[in-house]
Amino acid sequence: MLYDGYAIEKKGVRMKKNNYHLHFTLNGEEKSLEIEPGISALALIRDILDLKGTKEGCGIGECGACTIVVDGKAVNACLMFAVQLDGRSVLTVEGFGQGEELHPIQQSFIDHHAVQCGFCTPGILMSTRALLAENPEPKRAEIVKAIAGNLCRCTGYQSVIAGIEDAAERCRRSQKISKK
Ligand code: FES
Ligand code: FES
């Protein structure tokens, strides 16, 4: 039986239900909170921390809409437990630019019309960010591979790939990308 976030055992002893203390860095800010151990990283980000930029598509690791960057690697948030973020550095699309200023990757996507309905876009931006941090001069085949897990129903991918190629160039020029 649940009451105010506590489970009440038969003996009448109140056991705390939200019993995992999670501490991690989200978009450069320290976060420290109690969570239920079974929730996904996606539920934590969208439902508890209310960052709706990370999308939920399939929920089973097939579409890439939920892609976030954890310690520099692009991962599917729907396939991770929130507790796996403990002690790690997490980037979501909300942490992409600096205030009102768009990141060169975002600007490049706009300039190349790489966004239509936009549902897949946060995930593709995150995959691109991880790719360019690891490989600032990716070949076309490497770009295709990096976004292979991000499904888009609108753009046909050509504009996305062109946007990423240009974004790589802009990031090299502006040095606006790092492995963090
Ligand atoms: Fe996570 Fe589709 S919602 S991969
Ligand atoms: Fe619509 Fe990609 S822009 S799914």
pLDDT digits (tens, 9 = 90+) for 104-127: 999 999 999 999 999 999 999 999
Least distant ligand from the CA of 120 = 2
Same-domain pairing of 108 and 165: yes
132, 103 contact by CB (below 8 A):
no
Same-domain pairing of 75 and 117: no
Between CA 79 and CA 121 the distance in angstroms is 19
Is 131 within the bounds of a domain? yes
Q: What is the pLDDT of residues 13-50, one digit of tens each?
A: 455 566 899 999 999 999 999 999 999 999 999 999 99
Ligand 1 pocket by C-beta < 6 Å: which residues? Answer: 56-59, 61-66, 76, 78
Same-domain pairing of 74 and 131: no
Domain boundary among 72, 92, 112: 92
The identity of residue 120, as a single letter, is: C
Between CA 116 and CA 124 the distance in angstroms is 13
> Which mutation among 78, 81, 121 tests ligand 1's pocket best, with the greatest number of atoms within 8 A of CB?
78
Domain hosting 39: range is 20-92
Between CA 113 and CA 67 the distance in angstroms is 21
Count of alpha carbons within 13 Å of 81, Cβ hemisphere only? 9
